[in-house]
Amino acid sequence: MSTLITGTAGFIGFHLARALLEDGQEVVGIDNFNDYYTVRLKRERHALLERYPGYRGVEMDLCDLPRLQALVAETRPEAVCNLAAQAGVRYSLDHPFVYSRSNLEGFLNILEVCRHATPRPRLVYASSSSVYGGNTKLPFSEDDRVDTPISLYAATKKANELMAHAYSHLYDMQTIGLRFFTVYGPWGRPDMAMWLFTDAMLAGRPIPVFNHGRMRRDFTYIDDIVAGLRGALTADGLDRYEVFNLGNHRSEDLMEMIGILGRTLGIEPTMTMLPMQAGDVPATYADTERARRKLGFEPTTPIQVGIPRFVEWYRQYHRC
């Protein structure tokens, strides 16, 4: 089976590609290596993938439609997994046009190449828990209304689901959107809280804690996300258009996460309490029943296990 994955130099794309390659599958990976965060980390992830004979990495932007079309025509993937996007809620406040390019124009290009491809690939794509906006009914269910995003990032992810719905309906395409909930683990993202907190604690700096610590997050370990992605790539009996929550089905208190991180590092955290940030939501919590039923998704990694694994990798990576 050959899969085209976009965003393979990124956190989740790298892990999915590596898992498929370990199984002896063929993967074509696309990334534009943008400098949203350190490009070195992206190059290192990519170099690890290049070691596998089944991997073909292509430096390319999703917005380069002719090259994307040519690559799909040449490689004829059975599935396309679109993980490339401009991520990050806070960055979208100051850099809105990067989001319209990568997340809207780029995603439209993915839909168009899938629509015209022979054989017609299954399309799996990244959505986000942020589509739930300021919803207060917990846990978040795929049946809840998601018409009130509170950041442009969230709005582009909701737009992706709407665009996928139109293409599924018009062209009988199989599309599967996955709403990821705060993914963390080895080779993670330097702009996310777990990495930032670890970095600050090891440097003896206070951690910036928003909403005075009154935050809850459904933290999902990367291996569980990869299992969910693999379920989405292969599951039978799906509707033409599907959307699933991929979370750990536990809403953890942010202070508990900081406590585990501090104990694992052997450091007593110091904190700077701050107000809520624009675009952020106070709580996330995934109802994962639909993903369990249709994708066989059963997350198995609580933060008590996942955080020490992240810290072990972080220390090795930074030799600290």
Distances (CA, A) of 201 to 25, 84, 92, 214, 253: 40, 30, 27, 20, 19
Contact call for residue 124 and ligand NAD (CB under 6 A): no
Tokens of 269: 């955290």
Contact call for residue 61 and ligand NAD (CB under 6 A): yes
Choose, from 153, 167, 184, 285, the residue flagged as catalytic. 153
Round to whole Å and give the CA distance between 123 and 115.
Answer: 10
Contact call for residue 232 and ligand NAD (CB under 6 A): no
Residue 167 appears among annotated catalytic residues: no
CA contacts within 13 A on the Cβ side of 47: 7
Is the preceding omega at residue 269 within 30 degrees of 0, hence cis? no
* Of positions 19, 48, 58, 63, contacts ligand NAD by CB under 6 A: 63
Contact call for residue 241 and ligand NAD (CB under 6 A): no
Contact call for residue 299 and ligand NAD (CB under 6 A): no
Residue nearest to ligand NAD (CB): 10
Q: Is 269 exposed, middle or buried (0-12, 13-18, 19+ CB in 10 A)?
A: middle
Residue number, 84 or 176, with CB nearest to ligand NAD: 84
What is the per-residue burial (b if ≥16 Cβ within 10 Å, else e) of 186-203? bbbbeebbbbebbebbee
Provide the residue type at 317 as one letter. Answer: Y
Contact call for residue 161 and ligand NAD (CB under 6 A): no
Contact call for residue 265 and ligand NAD (CB under 6 A): no
- Which of the ranges 10-18, 138-146, 200-208, 233-241 carries the binding residues for ligand NAD, by CB under 6 A? 10-18
Structure-token match 């599935």, residue found: 79
Residue number, 6 or 174, with CB nearest to ligand NAD: 6
Contact call for residue 69 and ligand NAD (CB under 6 A): no
Give the active site residues: 153
Residue ranges in contact with ligand NAD by CB under 6 A: 6-7, 9-13, 30-34, 42, 61-63, 83-87, 102, 106, 126, 128, 180, 182-183, 189
